[in-house]
Chains A and B, each alone.
Chain A
Amino acid sequence: MIIAERKPLEEIKSMLSGYKKILLVGCRTCVTICWAGGEKEVGILSSQLKLASSGEGNELSILEATVERQCEKEMVIEELRDKVQEVEAILSMGCGVGVQTIAEIFEEKPVFPALNTTFIGMPEAEGVWVEKCGTCGDCMLYWTGGICPVVRCAKGLLNGPCGGTRKGGKCEIDPEKDCAWVLIYRRLEKQGRLDLMRKYYEPKNYRAVKRPGRVEAATA
């Protein structure tokens, strides 16, 4: 899923400077699961913004809404159509895709992001999410023991570890993080498939996804 983090309150306040009535929109999908932009976080941010603005003697009027999936136009239109008419601007707590979906539909209103979208990942522990996929468009997990070197190696190396591996197989840039290539080695060793790691891999084809990406289903 898509992982995001909320922006600092000060940055959000500065984006909204000059607006008196806004619509604050959450999303019930990825950003709800990563505690960044679900219904609960909409409530918290709304209270914080009201409190901060009233303290400055200029209370912000905030309408709240949470869309099932902010990246789907129909759902956004259905949920927000009427509310948008009542406000000057929209503050999205969706990922970058959600922000752009709303902006595309309601072109006449400014739309601001309340989150920073960070990566595609999974929960590792309570309140902790880690990056797992680099969306390279050319998946190589079948020869790396199901561990992605594109994002889990800090340098995205394809033929093994760099010389910076720390004692015990930790990453050059962070002694808390495992070296992805040490993990790959150990996993393939366990499976008796180290020959896969010994193979030389050519430089990556960065045209595997032509940016900006577009995929058409074969059956469409």
Chain B
Amino acid sequence: MAIHFREALKTKDFTVTTEAGPVKGASTEKMQGHIELLKDRVDALNVTDNQSSVMRYPSLGTCLLVKEHGGEPILQITCRDRNRLAIQADLLFAYSRGVDNVLCLTGDSIDVGDHKEAKPVFDLDSAQLIHLVHTLNSGKDMAGNELDGGVDFCIGASATPSADPIEPQLVKFQKKLDAGVDFIQTQAVYDLEELKRFMERTRKMDEKAKILAGIVLLVGAKMAAFMNENVPGIFVPQYLIDELAQAPKGTGLSKGIEIAGRLIRQIREERICDGVHIMAIGREERVPEILEAAGL
């Protein structure tokens, strides 16, 4: 049985999370396979919420699967698809079923997904969502009504260390920290010097929040170059792209695993962050190899 994520954050020197990405469809076998494979190797499993605005099996439904398998889920909630009523209702349901870690996100734009004509909601933003969870934790809803049966969520937020310019991001980030978060999971980082600069600034802003560096598995030089061009907030340094390009044909993914392992090892050994959040995006079955490469 997994220990509660909040306890892991408090007691462990280095916290490790990864993702269980919901599938498109009602068949849960593949997700259950990933959950079974990963649940005992990490401290918690994030479940994405219609990731990249692509409609999928729900985050909350997948979190229940994680619970059923004895794992520790982190419910990702975005502001894109639900208004304040729907978000609060989902949070009550989640808590009643033992899903009590929540990562509060803005959500990608509808335009990047597969239902581009949908109405974007964004009734709240991510800072307001964090405040909302605190309000629920205090025993009330957003309208000030008493809750019959309170909640006690462990609250997380995201950050983008590679943003350009970084200053406006830090203003928003400070608001999230001021609202009160237990943990931060960052967008993908590859440039550890940049991560160190981000951490220096962040430590001055808040000493308590545990910060987990986001590690996105690279599967080849092309994918890395594509991310630089197309995925906002991600920057893969040229030397890593070159390293991937020089890998013998068919070994790009193995090289990507090696790079991810190396980054994690360095983050841990140099105590740059409090942990890592590994995003293998569709290659969940390779996460154990990343952990091995990192010496975890």
Contact = CB atoms under 8 A, between A and B. Distances in A.
A168 B164 contact: yes
A198 B168 CA distance: 10
Interface in B153-180: 158-160, 163-165, 167-169, 171-172, 174-175, 178-179
B112 interface: yes
Which of B108, B158, B171, B187 gathers most chain A CB within 10 Å? B171
A162 B122 CA distance: 11
B179 A200 contact: yes
Interface string B175-198: 100110000000100000000000
Contacts of A200: 127, 131, 175, 178-179
Interface in A140-199: 154-169, 172-173, 179, 181-182, 184-185, 194, 197-198
B122 to A, nearest CB: 5
A159 B125 contact: yes
Contacts of A158: 125, 128
Given A185-B167, A200-B127, A203-B128, A159 B232 contact: no
A182 B165 contact: yes
Interface in B42-83: 79-80
Nearest to A185: B168
A96 B131 CA distance: 39
A162 B78 CA distance: 12
Contact of A161 (B108, B172, B179): B172
B233 A165 contact: yes
A202 interface: yes
Contact of B108 (A164, A166, A179, A182): A164
A155 B158 CA distance: 17
Interface residues of A, number: 32
A160 B171 contact: yes
B128 A164 contact: no
A182 B163 CA distance: 11
A174 B18 CA distance: 30
A156 B124 CA distance: 9
Contacts of B168: 160-161, 165, 169, 179, 181-182, 184-185, 197
Interface string A11-39: 00000000000000000000000000000
B171 A198 contact: yes
Contact of A157 (B125, B158, B160): B125
Which of A161, A169, A173, A184 gathers most chain B CB within 10 Å? A161
Interface in B85-108: 106-108
Given A164-B233, A165-B233, 7 more contacts: A155-B109, A160-B127, A160-B175, A172-B112, A181-B172, A182-B165, A198-B175
Interface of A: 154-169, 172-173, 179, 181-182, 184-185, 194, 197-198, 200-204, 206
Q: Which 5 A-B pairs have the closest CB atoms?
A: A160-B172, A185-B168, A163-B160, A159-B127, A157-B125
Interface of B: 79-80, 84, 106-109, 111-112, 120, 122-128, 131, 142, 158-160, 163-165, 167-169, 171-172, 174-175, 178-179, 187, 232-233
14 contacts: A154-B111, A156-B122, A159-B172, A160-B172, A161-B168, A162-B106, A163-B158, A163-B163, A163-B187, A164-B109, A169-B164, A169-B165, A172-B109, A201-B128
